[in-house]
Amino acid sequence: MKAILSMALALGLCGLVGAADKVDPVGTWKCEYEIGGMKRTVDLTIKKDGDKLAGTMSWPNQKETSLKDLKLKDGTLTFSAVRKFMDNEFTVEYKLTIDGDKLKGKGAAETGGQKQEIDIEGKREKKGK
């Protein structure tokens, strides 16, 4: 009986690990966040380049910028992107959790010597649009 229970537990854990590996970040994501009470948008595009991930972000007032250090581990996507705003440039570090066609997480940047964080949510665009 112990052997059967142990086997069932082991298979269950393997199934959970396998499910985490099956998170697919590839696609175009329409994301929203809020700064100073104003809703803002950003487009996040993730592609597979062989066995590595590559991607870009673009804002309404800034065209595409390449993502750096893009990694997916246990359903969490991490990367950085350079944000240009007026005459300023700053690096934003992102940590986003993917759940099906939705993502949710935070972006953080240091401005004026202080770390600022924003909440960000997104939905994957349907293929064919």
pLDDT of residue 12: 42
17 domain-assigned: no
10 domain-assigned: no
Supply the CATH number for residue 89's domain: 2.40.128.120
Q: Which residues are CB-neighbours of 61 under 8 A, at least 6 positions away?
A: 85
Strands annotated E in 19-99: 27-35, 38-49, 52-59, 62-66, 68-73, 76-85, 88-99
Number of domains observed in the structure of the chain: 1
pLDDT of residue 63: 83
1 domain-assigned: no
73 domain-assigned: yes
pLDDT of residue 128: 63
96 domain-assigned: yes
Question: What residue numbers bound the domain in which 31 lies?
Answer: 24-124
**Structural element, H or E, at residue 102:** strand 102-111
108 domain-assigned: yes
16 domain-assigned: no
103 domain-assigned: yes
63-71, long-range: CB within 8 Å, 24+ apart, which pairs? Answer: 70/46
Q: What is the pTM of this model?
A: 0.79
pLDDT of the chain along its 129 residues, tens only? 444 433 333 334 344 444 445 899 999 999 999 988 999 999 999 999 888 999 999 998 888 999 999 999 999 999 999 988 788 888 999 999 999 999 999 999 988 888 999 999 999 998 765
